[in-house]
Structure formats: structure tokens, C-alpha cells
Chains A and B, each alone.
Chain A
């Protein structure tokens, strides 16, 4: 906040300052400035010869004049102080003080001129009070502007936190000064030189007038020779000073109250007091107009942007829908493929079964049945994957139970008094790993049933699948006659090959039967 305020008011740091008092004039401003200054100077000069023309005394005219000055100067002071708060330019506080002083000093001037002031004590006032107050203000204003020029030229800026206090001190000081001067011009009026004799001015006012006029010209030159004289504020301040000059000069020529010069000077003074305020107000309204236009433009841009966002959203939604459709299509296709593979495997196992029946008891028949079981085990894995949501994982727990049911039937275990149990943790795996597990279990259980229970009336085979220390432990245990009964055959080679394919290790124990354990890394596809 502080930095922002400083950077805005830093000289030359910003092409378009946001504070009105620092705005640069454009060609239109300069044209208006030349017109205004030319018109006032020309009209003032042309009317100067008529300054002494006596006119009827209308003291109420002074009320209008002072009211206008009071309003114009107070408003200008307020505006300049606000600009100071915004920009931190120390010079603005001086210029604001000049206007505030005028605004405060005109009040006692009017009161004593119109004899409204209470005639009591030190403030009783006297005939010269109003005149002295008028001279004080017409001298103080150009001198204050000179002060402004000096501070503008050599002064700096105040940081945001340090702006309130100087402002408060300035306002209080200006009010106190006006109060003090009023007191001086009332209580000590008798000690001061006589400025006028009721209606006609004494020669001393001529000397005072010269001083005021020279101070005004000096202030004008000071403003017009500032390095940043092209600021809008300085153009309008110059115009106000020219008008102020034509408040003083006709009075000096008229040397009499209620002469034409007296009236003309007050008209010009009114102009001087209100000109800056009106022009700054004008700038403010044109700022608002351009702000409105900018806001309209921003609103249009916003609408266009929103439309673009809507379009883009619709495009994305359409794309999303088509992607969704593509995924569904893919799932459908995959499901169809698995379905066909499953059916074909069932077909293969069916044909092998039919063939085995035609062969009759013997090694050929046994081989056919083994092949049929292998094909069915592979089919079971495919059947499991169709049941999964993503078509990419197999429920191993369910696979082992389904496989066990199939093996019980196809190996005729029930008829031989053999039990097949499954003790498996809940887990899933990808199809390759599941296929290995299915085929390994199929081989081992088949092997156990075919060779481990010869001459035994009953037995129990257990399939175990457990998570163990981050590994997967598959176990097929029987309580049969031992491993020596099992001949080395295709089944053993299939098991060894599949275990190696899944990066597993094989351990075999014999303790009242055969227990074969396999450890697989879980990175092998099991979850």
C-alpha cells in the first residue's frame, strides 16, 4: 500500500500518474489554457480605462463576491489537500494552505465590511479592519503561491504514513493565522495606518497594491517557469493568477470603493478563486467518463471471454464424452475378446474330455484329462478377469476357490475320500501372474491326487496363499506318501518354468506328506 502510493507519485516513474495534480496537460488543455488566459488579459486590459467610472454603491455585491470566494477557495483547498493525501507531494500542502487562508480570511472581511461583526471587546473592529483583511489576503495568496513554487521545485514527497500530521498542522496553522490577523486588525486597528477615508483610498494602498501586483506577477512567472509547468494544475493555476492580478490592478486604478474598477476587480477575483476548482472538477468528470468507457470495454471483454470459456468448456465436454465412449468401446471389445478366449478354452477342454472318453483307461486317457484340466484352469483365469471392473485384474482368492471346485470334480476327489481346502488372503493380480498361479496350483493338486494317495482311503490337500514380509507365499500341501511318489514329468517342468517366469523361489518340504512353497515378489503383479 505504501509502496504503491509512493511509486505512483514518484516523479517520472509512471507514464500516467493516477493523481490529478500530477497529470500532464495534453494539446486540448493547452489550447483551452491559451484561450482562457488571453480572454482574461484582453478583457481586463480593455476595461482598465473605465476603472474610475463611479457606480452606485451596492454593498450586497461584496456579499456575493465573498461567498463565491469562500466556496471556491474552500473547495479548492479541500481538493488540493486530497491530492496531497494521494500523491504525498509536499508542495500541494502549501498551495492548499494558500487557498485555505483565503477562504478563512474572507469570513472576517465580510463580517467587518458589512458590519455584521459583534462590536465587543478586542474584536469590536473599526472602519479599517475590512480593508486591512482584504490587503492581507491579496498579499498572502501570491506569496503562498511563491512558496508553493519553491517547494515544488526543491521539495520532495512524504511517505504515506507521514502525510496526516503535516496536513493537520497546516490546517490548524492557517486557521490560527487568520484568527491572529483578524485580532491584529481589530484590536490594534488604531495603531495601523489609515487605508481609506470612508470611500476614497489613501496613497498607502497604492504602494500595497504595487507589492501585491508584483508578488502576483512573480508567482505567475514562478509557476510558468517550473520544470513541470505543463501539468494541468500549473496551467490552470497560471490562469487563476492572471485573474487574481485583474482583481488587484483595477482597484489600484479606481482608488475608490464602488467604482467600476472595484466591481470589475471583484468579478475577476471571483474567477480567480473558482477557476482552479472548476477546472479540476472538470478533469475529474472527464476521468470518470473515461473510466466509464474503460469499464464498458472491460465488460465487453469479459462477455467475450466468458463466451470463449463457455465454448472451450463445451469442446472439452464433448471431447470428454467421446473419450468416455472410446473407453466404453474398448472395455466392450476387451470383454468380448476375453469371452471368446474363455469359450474357446472351454471348447478345447471339452474336446479333450470327449477324446479321452474314446481312448479308454490308460496313459493316453490320463494325458488327455491333464490337458483338459490345464485348458480349464486357463479358462477360469479369463473368466475371473471378466468379472473385474477394470478388466485388468484378477481376484486371486476367488480364482483359487473356483479352481479348487473344478479340480475336486475333475479329479473325482469326493469319490476318493480326498478333501481340497483353500486358505487364501484377499488379493488381486494381473492376468499373467494369475495365469501362472492357476496353472501351478492345477499341476500340484493334480500331481498330489494322482500320486500321493495310492492305497490311502482319505487325505487332505490344502492350497494356501498368504502375504508374508512383503512377499507372496503360495503353498500346496498334502498328507500323502511323499514326493518320491511323483515322477518327473511335464507337470514339474511347467511348474518350474512358471515359477521362474514370475521371479519366484521354490522350496519343498517333506513332513508327513509333501509341502511345496513358493515365494513371489509382490511387484510381480499381485496387489
Chain B
């Protein structure tokens, strides 16, 4: 299972840390943690993860949807799972336009994250 690589994009340090720790415990390879859209794009380009867990609200002007669009444009081959606390219709609409692999709503159980990553990558 260590062949699955994940990039965590999350500006809340504690959530990012908890997620990272849990994913490592479950045998994933975490390629990095980004707190801003530009860092996310940069890390995605350099580490080419299989899956990116993308928060919407990030540090700086650009948000997770902006980052996801740039990453898609770069064709790094990463599947993007949005992990958001927001259910605002406007935000959800923007997310849908990006054709995400999956959308998870916070608070989300680690098991749910695990299951979604597997289903997105179609591994059991």
C-alpha cells in the first residue's frame, strides 16, 4: 500500500497534522503538506502525488478551487478529493465545475478519507 502517494492541502495545522499522521499509520506515503494554493500547485508539480486532499479555504488570496484548476491544467496526473467545511452553494458550484474525483465535508472521519482514496484510485 505504500505505493499510494498523497498530498495534503490544508491551512489548519492541527487538521493537517492529524490527517498526515493517520494516513501514514494506514500505510500511505504523504508527499507533503501545503497551506496555500501556490504551495499546493508547486508541491503537486514536484511530487506528482496519486491523490491530493484539497481544502477550500487556504492561506492567501487563491483558494483550493483555484489551486485544483492550475493542477489540472498542469496535467500532473493527480486525482483531487476536496475536503471542505463549506456547504455554500456558490462554492459547491465552483467545485463541481472542476470535476473533482470526490468531495468530503468536514468533520470527516479518517476511515472515510481512507475509503474515498481507495475508491477514487479503484484499489481495495
Query: A residues near B, CB below 8 A?
Result: 335, 339, 342-343, 345-347, 349-351, 353-354, 357, 375-376, 379-380, 383-384, 386-387, 402, 405-406, 409-410, 412
Contacts and interface: CB of A to CB of B under 8 A. Distances in A.
Contacts of B17: 350, 354
**Closest 7 pairs between A and B when the two form their complex, measured CB to CB:** A350-B18, A387-B87, A409-B111, A379-B107, A409-B109, A346-B107, A347-B14
Contacts, number: 71
A208 B104 CA distance: 123
Interface in B1-58: 12, 14-15, 17-19, 21-22, 25, 57
B85 interface: yes
How many B residues are at the interface, by size bracket? Answer: 20 to 34
22 contacts: A342-B85, A342-B106, A345-B107, A346-B85, A346-B108, A347-B12, A347-B14, A349-B107, A350-B14, A350-B15, A353-B18, A354-B18, A354-B21, A376-B109, A380-B107, A386-B86, A387-B87, A402-B105, A409-B111, A409-B112, A409-B115, A412-B111
B87 A383 contact: yes
Given A346-B15, A379-B106, 10 more contacts: A339-B85, A343-B15, A346-B107, A353-B18, A354-B21, A376-B107, A384-B87, A386-B85, A405-B109, A409-B115
A347 B14 CA distance: 6
Contact of B88 (A347, A386, A402): A386
A420 to B, nearest CB: 13
A71 B21 CA distance: 117
B109 A406 contact: yes
Contact of A339 (B14, B57, B109): B57
A386 B110 CA distance: 22
B63 to A, nearest CB: 13
A380 B112 CA distance: 14
Nearest to A409: B111
A354 B57 CA distance: 23
Contact of A335 (B18, B88, B107): B88
B25 to A, nearest CB: 7
B85 A350 contact: no
Contacts of A386: 85-88
Most chain A CB atoms below 10 A, which of B18, B25, B110: B18
Contacts of A379: 106-107
A343 B106 CA distance: 8
A354 B25 CA distance: 11
A368 to B, nearest CB: 13
Contacts of B106: 342-343, 346, 379, 383
A375 to B, nearest CB: 8
Contact of B19 (A350, A380, A406): A350
Contacts of A375: 107
Given A339-B57, A351-B18, A357 B25 contact: yes
Nearest to A387: B87
Contacts of B108: 346, 406
B104 to A, nearest CB: 11
Most chain A CB atoms below 10 A, which of B22, B57, B109, B115: B109
A92 B108 CA distance: 99
Contacts of A349: 107
Most chain A CB atoms below 10 A, which of B21, B88, B106, B107: B107
Nearest to A335: B88
A129 B86 CA distance: 114
Nearest to B13: A347
Most chain A CB atoms below 10 A, which of B17, B21, B105: B105
Nearest to A415: B111
A347 B106 CA distance: 10
A135 to B, nearest CB: 103
B107 A410 contact: no
A349 B106 CA distance: 11
Given A357-B25, A386-B85, A386-B88, A406 B112 contact: yes
Most chain B CB atoms below 10 A, which of A350, A379, A412: A350
Contacts of B109: 376, 405-406, 409-410
A405 B18 CA distance: 20
A405 B112 contact: yes
B12 A343 contact: yes
Contacts of B110: 353, 409
Contacts of B107: 342, 345-346, 349, 375-376, 379-380, 383, 406
